[in-house]
Structure 1
Amino acid sequence: MSGIPSVDLRDFISGDEVRKQKFVREIGRAFEEIGFVALSGHFLSDELVEELYAEVKAFFELPQETKDSYEIPGIGGQRGYTSFGKEHAKGRKEGDLKEFWHFGQYVEDNPELEAEYPANVLVEELPRFNEVGKETYKMLEKTAQYVLRALALHLDLEEQYFDEFIKNGNSILRPIHYPPITEEPKNAVRAAAHGDINLITLLMGAHGKGLQVQNHEGQWIDAIAKPDQLMINVGDMLSRLTNNKLKSTIHQVVNPPRELWGTSRYSIPFFMHPISEMPLNCLENCIDQEHPKGFEDATAGEYLNERLIELGLIKK
């Protein structure tokens, strides 16, 4: 395997205190040491995953003109379609070799937040696309909630600490298509080295080579999940909150060997974001003499806006 630790969420929700503590210990250690785990026992069924991939492939196979009609100006790509090469990593000019779609939050019981978030975009050509996307979003959000509960216990917080901040949070489900590479890329890769902005990311589709993680020695290691696993990593928001106790690890998606240039790659990350008001001020119990406070106070909304400007998705 890839040197990424594996954990099983069924241990945490088993009702057995010994298994629950084992999961907390394992995921806590993994997120302190490398910031990535491969997770089994999540809430996605095989049938749902299969149907989602079928819908996503059908969307990206639509004519370019049709896809372009779902690119919504003025919202920083938060919903709908983002065309090939639009997004780049922080500090890079070259656009990543990908196109993608965004499903956003399905707000419950909060008209103010519903007005704040852009509406999800309906794809008329594919009657099941939005329904399958919504079901996947809900199952990944549920999985992420339990992972964050385990991390709260690892951080000596109350188990439900994150629940109020992630309910109706600004989370994003992003089906990505990396099209076949038709000519020598000029200093561009499928996804340049970056850290994620959010609390945690749950990634579907890390089953072949491509995703690489940078360990603390600066070496790139392949992150390959088993077919039934999600790859989960710490984002910059959680790293800030924990004063870098939990590591937001730099990762990238490299171009395949030349003989595989003619193939597409699909991956589907779920970026777990809190509500904008969540304070990301470093937790007091993560600050001590050896680990002085390393980040300015900020809310999740302020930090997100700053990062979207850096990524070129919104203008100052």
Structure 2
Amino acid sequence: MLDTASAQVPTLSLADQARDPDGFAAAFGASFERFGFAIVADHGIAQPLIDRAWRETESLFALPEAEKRDHFIAGGGGARGYTPFKTEIAKDAKHVDLKEFWHIGRELPAGHRFAEVMADNVWPVRPEEFKDTFLELFTAFDRAGDRLLSAIARYLDLAPDWFDPAVRDGNSVLRLLHYPPIPVDAEGVRAGAHEDINLITLLLGAEEAGLELLDRATGDWLAIKPPEGAMVVNVGDMLQRLTNHRLPSTTHRVVNPPPERRGHSRYSMPFFLHPAPDFLIETLPQTIDAEHPNRYPEPITAHDYLHQRLVEIGLIKN
């Protein structure tokens, strides 16, 4: 890992979007087309809120194992609450991932039309500020995601607000990830090679080494090294399908650290931005031509697609 070359993913400033929305969209979309990834600084999520979230995350995972497992929902597909260490496995991987995580979703009002397919949140008693902190952070991620989707829409020659109805009441998930210290002879890696399921992923915490993408042009693994405080954003399979692979969902992984860092935990916070469950993932006409025939002539709802993928990674059992 120490010799892994760095991916030349550009760092863009979301602050530029207000001044030059078309220019930002062009740069953002071009990075997605080349790498499936972009790095975004000045994303608008307040640093004091992020700092508070890191403290709450560390406190949560420091709780006794039995207390954390009280918030594990058997048969729930990991949709909300706690998922124990060595549960999730990358598609086609031989070993489970060396991680534990907690999922927070959208808070829906009573009687909402998606209540049957979007689970209620699970809130721990400890840490005491956990719920308030992560409801606020979820909203902040939501706003940043809306701005990035607007840039993607411009890049695809869609109206800037094209994604707004698609993600209103979307089944997005904020994941708090803990990769515990691991022995030198650990079997498997912290997160096996995989692609994300959703539209886009917004990630905080990638400054700690380990995140790598698979360069489609060369077949090499490349390290992603964002500046301090910047957000890593990547294409998910739903957006890849929607755009007929014009915007590719790039394989990525989290490799184990060098020996001197194996006694340290690694934390990260990805926000998996999903459309609403009834959104129909149907290939955009402008991404289809003679050289790029429609790879997905049969559309599928976001809910059905998500279910298929959760079965593949072992979070839902058939």
TM-score range, shorter chain: over 0.9
Match of 1:164 in 2: 165
Please, which runs of 5 or more residues in structure 2 have no aligned partner? Answer: 1-5
- Cα displacement (A) at 1:43: 2.2
Equivalent AA in structure 2 for residue 82 of structure 1: T
1:181 aligns with 2:182: yes
- Cα displacement (A) at 1:306: 0.5
- Cα displacement (A) at 1:108: 5.5
Contact 2:97 2:191 in 1 (8 A): yes
User: Which of 5, 8, 24 in structure 2 is aligned with 1:3?
Assistant: 8
Q: 1:1-316 residue pairs with structure 2 within 5 A?
A: 2-12=7-17, 14=18, 16=19, 19-107=20-108, 111-186=112-187, 188-216=188-216, 217-295=218-296, 296-316=298-318
- Cα displacement (A) at 1:146: 0.7
Local SS of the residue matching 1:32:
helix
Provide runs of 4+ in structure 1 moved above 2 Å. 107-110
Question: Which is further off, 2-11 or 250-259?
Answer: 2-11
Q: Deviations over 1:218-261 (max 9, x none)?
A: 11111111112100000000000000000111000000011211
Local SS of the residue matching 2:280:
coil
Equivalent AA in structure 2 for residue 298 of structure 1: I
Contact 1:108 1:168 in 2 (8 A): no
Please, which runs of 5 or more residues in structure 1 have no aligned partner? Answer: none
Assess, with a 3 A threshold, how the Cα gap between structure 1 residues 173 and 218 changes in structure 2: closer, same or farther: same
- Cα displacement (A) at 1:3: 1.1
* TM-score, normalising length: structure 1: 0.96
Local SS of the residue matching 2:178:
strand
CA distance in structure 1 between the aligned counterparts of 2:64 and 2:303, rounded to whole angstroms? 35
- Cα displacement (A) at 1:110: 6.7
Q: Deviations over 1:137-156 (max 9, x none)?
A: 11011101110011011101
Equivalent AA in structure 2 for residue 257 of structure 1: P
Identical-pair percentage: 41
Local SS of the residue matching 1:29:
helix
- Cα displacement (A) at 1:93: 3.5
Contact 1:106 1:168 in 2 (8 A): no
Local SS of the residue matching 1:112:
coil
CA distance in structure 1 between the aligned counterparts of 2:127 and 2:186, rounded to whole angstroms? 32
Equivalent AA in structure 2 for residue 260 of structure 1: R
